[in-house]
Amino acid sequence: MRIDKYLKVSRIIKRRTVAKNVADADRIYINGSLAKPGKTVKIGDIVELHLGLKVISIKITSLTPSKDADMYELISEEKRSVWSFFHGIYIKIRMYLRRYNMFPEDLNEQQRIRREKMEELRSLGVDPFGSRFVRSHTAIQIHNEFGGFDHDQLEEKKQEVTVAGRIILKREQGKAGFIQIQDRDSKIQVYVRLDHVGEFAYNIFKKSDLGDIVGIKGILFRTKTNELTVKADEFIHLTKALTPLPDKFHGLQDKEEARRRRYVDLIVNEDARRVAKLRSKIIRAIQHYFDSKDFMEVETPVLHPILGGAAARPFVTHHNALDMDFYLRIATELPLKRLIVGGLERVYEIGRLFRNEGIDAKHNPEFTTVEAYMAYGDVTDMMDLVEECMSSVAMEVLGTYDVVFDDVTIHLKDFKRAHMVDLIKEQTGVNFFEINDLNEAVALAKKHNVPLEKHFTLGHIIEAFFAEFVEDTLIQPTIVYGHPVEISPLAKKNAQDPRFTDRFELFIKGSEYANAFSELNDPIDQRQRFEAQLEQKSKGDEEASEMDVDFVESLEYGMPPTGGIGIGIDRFVMLLTNTPNIRDVILFPHARNKTK
């Protein structure tokens, strides 16, 4: 029932037009929030009416008119001083004078009401956006330190705490009320009483909204329902939320909107906070692993003058002072290998890469990897490293080697190792060890409906067969080695079969998680590989590398035999958090502009 109608049928105000005028004049509050005439009320709501010098508080007990019983329970009826009455009028006049600048036309009703409350706080001498506040405890510290104390122990202890957080639940009961505040790691209930915090602070409490940030000083106790609670002695307003939070039970239902407005998603979505916190722990655990193996963490440029280190389409930008075009890096490989030439021997970098390609559940144009290079090692060392790294991170962060991803349990130990050609043969019967003719390979591709492009070599066709028939069958961690030389311009040729390289990729549940080489350190061979890439580029391969003369020259000074690896951190976070979409493990993923 609308509040203006309720006030009339309950005989609190005898004419509905008068009730509507009272609401329009901002003199009705329902459960502590300012109400308009069309606001719906229900049984149990607390209604506060400001009628001249009188302030009446009632609890709605019925929505059905009756001659034998009132439709409400009178909680209190107070008479305000003349000063208080005119002070209220002064607040209203000040707010309406400022409305032209403070209240844009596109604000909804709730936003307007919250801005009015902001002005009301200012008029009371309270800064709506607060200042420094020192906490004695966080919510999780309170639960960890005092969660084991019962009611009597807490009564005896009289433990004082000072906490702060965002109001996510609120309920009032006349001269007392409860709120639940949320900080980064947990929530804590707060009990606020008029006779404990005083009239001024209680008035601020009553005007608070969900989403506001407050500070609380008080004593810990347990309620009748045994909930650990802070009994407030001080209620300090810290920040006014001018826009209401989404419904607490539904949050941001539109996933794209949640990704655009991650700041709101983190407030209302516990799983979003879980993933964000686990991501930080995972990256820290990766650092712990490489540090423990005597690797040095380094930083290399994001802007590259030459495209290289991977096969991908880049983002291009222009440096005005140098009058040069640069690429946002698609890999950190070549700068890191220059450091190996320089004698740093073991280096790694955790950093962002940028590829101007598609967006889907597994790909984002901006993503994070860890790349590592180890002098005097090779691809077999990298096989051991990737298994040790991923298993140690899983154990440090989750305490187990078994993780559930998309309803499948993945065991992050004892990785399978297999040659790419053998895996293709298992699925198709085609044995590329026995095929050396490009025409024969093309005919087999057409027979098996494998898509071809005009620049494809025999090596590209082998890779296409693998992608078409094998990738999706690799569920448990599988190290796939033996990549063709044509698709591996930076890897050493295999000594037993130079058609293939000492390279591997790690696949888990059909997705690539890591890529590793015995790094090519022959400058003459490297120059020839770059020249072959330029030829591929001339045939239309937009992802082919460019000639990096400086890198070739660095190899001429001598790079020791080296093993190198890149691990996709975003996908690893997806795996360990059981998150199916990469954009949900990146705090601010890219999205199309919002259409109006």
Of residues 45 and 196, the one with the higher pLDDT is 196
Query: Which bin fits 469, alpha (ψ -120 to 50), beta or left (φ > 0)?
Result: alpha
3-state secondary structure of 213: strand
What is the spatial distance between Cα 536 and Cα 545, in angstroms, rounded to a whole number? 9
Tell me, rounded to whole angstroms, the distance of Cα 227 from its chain centroid: 30
Model confidence at 478: pLDDT above 50: yes
Is 388 marked as binding a ligand? no
Is residue 488 within 8 A of residue 520, CB to CB? The reply is no
pLDDT surpasses 80 at 541: no
Query: What b/e readout covers 368-393, taking b as 16+ CB neighbours within 10 angstroms?
Result: bbbbbbbbebbbebbbebbbebbbbb
Q: Where are the domains of the chain?
A: 3-123, 139-245, 270-411+512-584
- The pLDDT assigned to 71 comes to 86
**DSSP class of 437:** -
Distances (CA, A) of 355 to 328, 331, 364: 8, 9, 8
Instruction: Please state which of the ranges 255-259, 318-322, 551-555, 559-563 shows the lowest mean pLDDT.
Output: 255-259
Taking all residues of the chain, what is their mean pLDDT, rounded to a whole number? 90
- Which residue matches tokens 């009994």? 231
Question: CATH homologous superfamily for 270-411+512-584?
Answer: Bira Bifunctional Protein; Domain 2 (3.30.930.10)
Q: Which long-range contacts (CB under 8 A, 24 or more apart) does 497-502 make?
A: 497/433, 499/436, 499/458, 499/459, 500/420, 500/421, 502/378, 502/379
Mean pLDDT (whole number) for 276-286: 98
119-129 mean pLDDT: 95
| Residues pairing with 218 in the sheet | 161, 232
What's the CA gap between 276 and 40, in Å, rounded?
Answer: 38
At residue 103 the predicted structure's pLDDT band, cuts being 50, 70 and 90, is: very low
pLDDT given at position 87: 57
Left (φ > 0), alpha (ψ -120 to 50) or beta: where does 51 sit?
Answer: beta
CA atoms within 13 A on the CB side of 141: 11
Q: Which two tokens stand for residue 568?
A: 């996709």
pLDDT tens figures, 160-191:
999 999 999 999 888 999 999 999 999 999 99
Comparing 549 with 49, the larger pLDDT belongs to 549
CATH class of 139-245: mainly beta
Q: Any known ligand binding at 553?
A: no
Architecture of domain 3-123: Roll (3.10)
Phi, psi of 7, deg, nearest 5: -60, -30
pLDDT at position 101, please?
Answer: 46
Asked if 448 contacts 470 with a C-beta cutoff of 8 angstroms, the reply is: no
The percentage of residues in the chain with a pLDDT greater than 90, rounded to a whole number, is 68
Structure confidence at residue 578 (pLDDT): 97
Distance of alpha carbon 252 from alpha carbon 265, whole angstroms: 7
Q: What is the pLDDT confidence band of residue 102, given thresholds at 50, 70 and 90?
A: very low
- The yes-or-no verdict on residue 32 having pLDDT over 50 is yes
Q: Can you give the pLDDT at residue 253?
A: 67
- Tell which residue, 72, 67, 54, 68, has the closest CA to residue 3: 72
Confirm if 286 and 295 have CB atoms less than 8 A apart. no
Structure tokens, 527: 């120059």
For 285-309, what is each residue's pLDDT tens digit?
Answer: 999 999 999 999 999 999 999 887 7
- String of DSSP letters for 127-162: -TT------S--HHHHHHHHTT--HHHHHHH--EEE
* Residue 105 to residue 414: CA distance in whole angstroms: 63
Residues 41 and 9: their CA atoms lie apart, in Å, by 13
Q: Which two tokens stand for residue 460?
A: 């590209």
Q: Which of 512, 535, 530 is nearest to 520 (CA)?
A: 530
Q: Write out pLDDT tens, residues 363-382.
A: 999 999 999 999 999 999 99
Query: What pLDDT is recorded for position 99?
Result: 44
Q: What is the per-residue pLDDT for 594? A: 72
Strands 511-518 and 562-568: antiparallel
